[in-house]
Amino acid sequence: MEEYGVIIIGAGPAGLSAAAKLAERKINALVLDRKQEIGCPKRCAEGLGLGWFRRLGLKPSKEWAVMPIYGAALYSPLGKSVVLKAKKVAGYVLERKMFEKALAIDAVKKGAKIRLKSNVKSARRENGNVVIDVNELGEIKQYSAPLIIACDGIDSRIARMLGLDTTNKLPDVDSGFQYELTGIDGYDEKLLHLYFGNEISPRGYCWIFPKRRGTANVGIGIAGYAEKTAKYYLDKFIASHPNLSKGSIIEVNSGGIPVGGFLEKMHSDNLLIAGDAAHQVDPIHGGGIGISMEAGALAAEVASEAVAKNDFSEKFLGKYTQKWYALRGNQLKKRLKGRHLLEKLSDADFEYLADSITADDVLKIASGDLDKKAKFILFAKKLVKRPGLVKIMMKYL
């Protein structure tokens, strides 16, 4: 049996970020992933805002930050748009396979070890350690460590193996489906394009995330309980846009997105959970790359304190859950209310909003500079013919 200081299960953004931080602190860290290639297949539209580059200390590299983005265009069900465009780059669309490989190379350079085709089949506590059974390239191996960081994504089973139920409830999961399309045009390649409406995309939105000239991730995220599949709605959307339907598919991606069932506890004895496995995703737009990397780094910080104190108890590791809510979770809980707001809007509401609210209004609201009274006045003026909408907006804000 091989023994490590910390074992991380899952080599996605959460796991690779945790591995790099542990290795920086000279902790003997091993990352196991069942995939045969890091970053592949991607389950992602690959958008990452500039704020995350700053927060995570990432420098955009031409190798993986492939398309600079200057803002977003939001479309109502009938196609009216509100365009938010900045003069400076606001984020990038990534080539995630290259991005994750760059994260992996960085972690290994710092001293972490990674093993692929390593599917963790079971985990149990034994004499203060966790012992895991792994199917590694067809061979059964055992590893042990006093601490496991479960970064095993939306299908997470590791926490459950160690007695913590992290099952997602159906209303808190979106279903994502996407084609990488090439040979398409007719949209501004400097913007992300988001299409709203209950007919188009129940509870969610369709997107075009430009990736290269004439190539984009065209996808959809919808409520997991929607009547039809995400593929059905996406195909319908593409069929109604001749500039997209003439394209060819070069990749198909699908996956679930945990959008709001935040966990009260993301730790137990010998265990921390980070990333999608801990439901750490923005409940409004479903973005989780930055949030999972931040959480992976935080888990590594608490893990290294646990190693220094040789304390892997639930009590000590509870610091992680506490710190995550203070750093990000409480803010995301507020944003969950935004998702609930979107769920209440009818297609007629979306049209009315598109007619009345300007890009300037959206920026003013998003800036956080308006107090509650100023927001009420803005909405009351703009939405005078729909007092019901003012009520919904104010409840959220």
Interface positions with ligand FAD (CB under 6 A): 9-15, 32-35, 43-48, 118-120, 151-153, 155, 157, 176, 178, 219, 253, 255, 257, 275-277, 281, 286-290, 292
CA-CA-CA-CA torsion for 84, 85, 86, 88, nearest 10 degrees?
Answer: 140
Q: Residue 250 CB, nearest distance to ligand FAD (Å)? A: 16
Q: Which strand (E) or helix (H) includes residue 56?
A: helix 50-56
Cα 386 to Cα 353: distance, rounded to the nearest angstrom? 10
Q: For ligand FAD, which is the closer residue by CB, 275 or 329?
A: 275
**8's tokens:** 């991380």
Angle (deg, nearest 10), helices 289-309 and 314-324: 150
Q: For ligand FAD, which is the closer residue by CB, 222 or 307?
A: 222
Q: For ligand FAD, which is the closer residue by CB, 234 or 390?
A: 234
Cα 304 to Cα 23: distance, rounded to the nearest angstrom? 10
Can you spell out the DSSP letters for 101-165?
A: HHHHHHHHHHT-EEESSEEEEEEEEETTEEEEEEEETTEEEEEEES-EEE---TT--HHHHTT--
Which of 98, 114, 122 is closest to 31 using CA atoms?
114
Measuring CA to CA, how many Å separate 42 from each of 37, 58, 178, 269?
Answer: 10, 20, 10, 32
Q: For ligand FAD, which is the closer residue by CB, 17 or 198?
A: 17
Q: Residue 365 CB, nearest distance to ligand FAD (Å)? A: 22
Q: For ligand FAD, which is the closer residue by CB, 137 or 374?
A: 137
Contact by Cβ (8 Å): 131, 3: no
Q: Residue 310 CB, nearest distance to ligand FAD (Å)? A: 27
Q: For ligand FAD, which is the closer residue by CB, 10 or 352?
A: 10
**Max CA distance (Å), the chain:** 70
Backbone angles phi and psi of 301, in degrees to 5: -60, -50
Backbone angles phi and psi of 85, in degrees to 5: -125, 130
Q: For ligand FAD, which is the closer residue by CB, 323 or 364?
A: 323
Q: For ligand FAD, which is the closer residue by CB, 179 or 352?
A: 179
Rg (CA), the chain: 22
Q: Residue 152 CB, nearest distance to ligand FAD (Å)? A: 4
Pairing mode of beta strands 205-212, 215-223? antiparallel
**80's tokens:** 């009216």
Q: For ligand FAD, which is the closer residue by CB, 72 or 390?
A: 72
How many residues belong to the chain?
397
**214's tokens:** 């004439």
